[in-house]
């Protein structure tokens, strides 16, 4: 590649790629690889079978048989505009079938992310998994623990920001993969309270799918706020029961949950910080008196936090009247009756409820 393109840059260690730049565009090129039974002079696999190096070059036939799914082993010949199929991919494509090439367990052990790719392709394309491709996934799901957290972050974005987040979520749970990606959330969903934790996640993912289909912007910060909220809420409730104030309880709970989560999936600070702000602002929505609502309206994360409040109300966790009041308040309906703030009944004023003494009238000029 370097001999062919002078403007070529080689990248990658586990899997070498060539980036060829044409103006402002970069073309990514992966040359043909040989099968894993090729003569390799050094250890390229972990004890679990995961590949550490995959840079043994070979022929197009060898390259086809080392790809993951048959439908991904199709080649386009630009000389005569034909499709070259070495693995029966055209037939599987016609039947809407995802089938792994080679022994499924071996292929999943070589790269556990293939299990996530199987889920994503099945959800996005509406394909079904071949029995041999499907059956090992629940057994081998724990292999995801060996995948670098930064790589899993990218895979999670592909799963949930591709317009089929709800379908991906359901399949991830079906095969036991979601528990490996979000262990705290999976544990909290197992203890449903009136269904609203699961409803909130599904509504949040449905909202993400709708925004993508409408070409509206989406952010990983809001996505992860939805996916991690339930373990944060449960921990915050526990801290409040121990006497901690609501805002501090959510802040502390969020920090604990995020610290555990990044051990599985790397979460860049540019996303984790606004995510925690979305959580922290939820308690401030309860403050509907005086100038506090107007101050909250100017907060940089107000819109995202407000959308999150609406999700909580739709799922039955937050008070729908509170969400309606904030909707009216934004629209300028300042005369809308404010919901009663928690603990405000019978609350004294800052001056202790004492009546102010009026000064005696003084004649003009005295």
pLDDT tens by residue, 219-262: 999 999 999 999 999 999 999 999 999 999 999 999 999 999 99
pLDDT of residue 326: 95
> Using CA atoms, how far apart are residues 307 and 226, in angstroms rounded to an integer?
11
Q: Which domains are present in the chain?
A: 182-333 (1.10.3090.10)
Taking residue 161's Cβ as centre, other Cβ atoms within 10 Å add up to: 18
pLDDT of residue 90: 96
The number of C-alpha atoms within 13 Å of 315 and in the hemisphere containing its C-beta is 26
* Nearest by Cα to 328 from 318, 338, 319: 338
Measured torsion, CA atoms of residues 277, 280, 285, 291, in degrees rounded to the nearest 10: -70
**Which residues of the chain have a pLDDT value below 70?**
14, 35-54, 192-196, 334-366
- Sheet containing strand 8-11, edge to edge, reads 8-11, 17-22, 25-29
What b/e readout covers 93-115, taking b as 16+ CB neighbours within 10 angstroms? Answer: beeebbbbbeebeebbbbbbbbb
pLDDT of residue 198: 86
pLDDT of residue 190: 80
pLDDT of residue 337: 62
Instruction: Give this prediction's pTM.
Output: 0.81
pLDDT of residue 347: 45
pLDDT of residue 192: 61
């Amino acid at each position: 590649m370097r001999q062919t393109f002078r403007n070529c840059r080689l990248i990658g260690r586990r899997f070498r790629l060539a980036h060829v730049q044409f103006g402002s565009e970069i073309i990514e090129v992966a040359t043909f690889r040989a099968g894993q039974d090729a003569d390799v002079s050094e250890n390229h696999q972990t004890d679990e079978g995961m590949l550490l190096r995959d840079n043994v070059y070979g022929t197009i036939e060898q390259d086809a048989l080392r790809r993951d799914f048959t439908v991904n082993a199709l080649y386009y010949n630009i000389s005569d505009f034909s499709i070259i199929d070495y693995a029966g991919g055209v037939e599987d494509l016609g039947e809407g079938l995802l089938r792994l090439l080679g022994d499924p367990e071996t292929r999943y052990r070589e790269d556990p992310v293939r299990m996530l790719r199987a889920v994503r392709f099945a959800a996005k394309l509406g394909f079904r998994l071949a029995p041999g491709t499907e059956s090992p996934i629940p057994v081998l799901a724990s292999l995801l623990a060996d995948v670098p957290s930064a790589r899993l972050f990218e895979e999670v974005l592909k799963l949930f920001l591709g317009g089929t987040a709800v379908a991906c979520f359901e399949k991830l749970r079906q095969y036991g993969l979601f528990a490996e990606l979000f262990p705290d959330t999976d544990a909290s969903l197992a203890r449903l309270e009136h269904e609203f934790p699961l409803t909130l996640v599904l509504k949040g993912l449905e909202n993400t799918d709708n925004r993508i289909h409408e070409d509206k912007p989406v952010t990983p910060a809001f996505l992860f706020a939805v996916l991690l909220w339930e373990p944060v809420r449960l921990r915050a409730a526990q801290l409040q029961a121990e006497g901690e104030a609501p805002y501090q309880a959510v802040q502390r709970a969020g920090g604990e949950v995020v610290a555990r989560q990044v051990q599985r999936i790397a979460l860049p600070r540019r996303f984790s910080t606004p995510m925690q702000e979305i959580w922290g602002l939820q308690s401030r929505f309860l403050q509907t008196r005086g100038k506090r609502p107007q101050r909250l309206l100017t907060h940089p994360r107000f819109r995202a936090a407000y959308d999150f409040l609406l999700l909580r109300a739709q799922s039955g966790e937050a008070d729908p009247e509170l969400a309606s009041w904030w909707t009216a308040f934004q629209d300028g309906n300042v005369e809308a009756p404010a919901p009663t703030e928690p603990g405000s009944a019978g609350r004294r004023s800052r001056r202790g409820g004492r009546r102010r003494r009026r000064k005696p009238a003084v004649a003009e000029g005295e």
